[in-house]
Structure 1
Amino acid sequence: MTGTGEAVVFWVLGTVSVLAALGLIFARRAVYAAMCMAVIMINLGVLYLAQHADFLGVVQVFVYTGAVMMLFLFVLMMIGVDSADSTVETHRGVRVGGILLGLGLGALLCAVIGQVGTPAIVGLDAANAGGNVQGLGKLIFGPYVWVFELTSALLITAALAAMVLAHKKRLVPKVTQRVYSERRFREGHYPAGLPAPGVYARHNAVDTPALLPDGTPSELSVSPVLEARNQVAQPGQFEEIEEAITHEIEEGRAR
């Protein structure tokens, strides 16, 4: 018998899940679709916990919400949250293939669910008599094994869709090293290239600026990022070391 609290939780979370599912389907931006999917997965976990399926509820939150959503998070990081969705199809026949694949998966889902025999209702205490994990395993790999495999196919489809979202067609030709060189000579900006960093052979590092003929360090030889971080080594800090080494050499010669 369903209690009042359980019924309230079901209707509230069920309504929110349906609205989130509609948002997942009709969302025009990937970030909104990912947020709606996260809401659905969390609500399902809470519903499982309300039905005393502790293991299934925890797995729903940790595995699906924590692991599967990472896939979509990486996709959003690659395509950019603020990037506008392109309406130009970079692959021919993607829309037609997607519609046919969706109809095929829907027909397969209906056929599999129609052939699955509904087990007799024995109650939660009897179903979890050997443990919640054991009871869940008997159902998944028993009468619902084809539904479980179909869910795996849906996850693979989601992974393929994520890769399609991350694909971007190159709009301009790739700039090669030869093009960069010709552009540099054409514009006249440092045709011979920027001075290389490093003052002495033993300190040939990117954070050590090159020296100009007058002995002053060249600002063009080090990265502006290192300058902003105050990580540029000044040539003067090596003078004491050089003097000490020179003094040791002279003492060695005197002996």
Structure 2
Amino acid sequence: MTFSFDGPLLLVGAGKMGGALLEGLIANGLDPRRVLVQDPAPPPEIAAILARHGLAAAPRIESVSAPPGVILAAVKPQVMDAVFPPVARLADPRTLTVSIAAGRTLRSFEAHLPANAAIVRAMPNTPAAIGRGITVCVANGHVTPAHRELCDALMAAVGEVAWVDQEAAMDAVTAVSGSGPAYVFLLAEALEKAALAAGLEAPLARRLARATVSGAGELLARSEEDAAVLRQNVTSPGGTTAAALAVLMADGGLEALLTEAVLAGMGRSRELAK
């Protein structure tokens, strides 16, 4: 994979997602010597990644001597106002800023960066940690085709990449794919509890729930069929699956609850937007 930009890549925030991105980028060919990391206290597992690649988490932004080609802002949204302004002063007109902070708008970064700065707001999700994430991006008006190609390459290091034209769509994206892994984990958790209620021993209940959810997800990933078709393929008329789905698909069932959940998440994303 080719990463075409001048100057270093400055990763601001080496938490779980920042660390996943860093590991994916290096695994896909980014020279660690082109990376600068700014984080005063990375968690132990990320510190181990940095050490493995000969990188240090520089606690002082003054240690960055050249304008970054890319600023990758991966700190928590609630500390962005304190962390980003000193970083922004390092940017020059060629710098591409990519933020993965939920709820932080393009305008909030434009306020600190030089005029005409190229900025991408991105929403990855936690399967990025194993290279199976999906990231949705939206660009401000100064992002060129070359910037977009570079952002594609950066985010493809941890999974699929999609783009939206309107920033308002990022609230729905956050509620669907950003938060979506939690819904799937809840499904596995609920299925395990249902297995216990049905009389299975705890170790088998856990194993069945995890393997079923992860296996079905992998089948969905590999299949060209719609999810509805895959569901129908498992469902024999009058059989056990049909009996169970009659409960899940009843009025007020899973589809209605999931829609309500996504709309709630989208509403909260709008409330948090800055």
TM-score range, shorter chain: under 0.3
Higher helix fraction: Structure 1 or Structure 2?
Answer: 1
Normalised TM-score (structure 1): 0.26
Larger-Rg structure = 1
Normalised TM-score (structure 2): 0.25
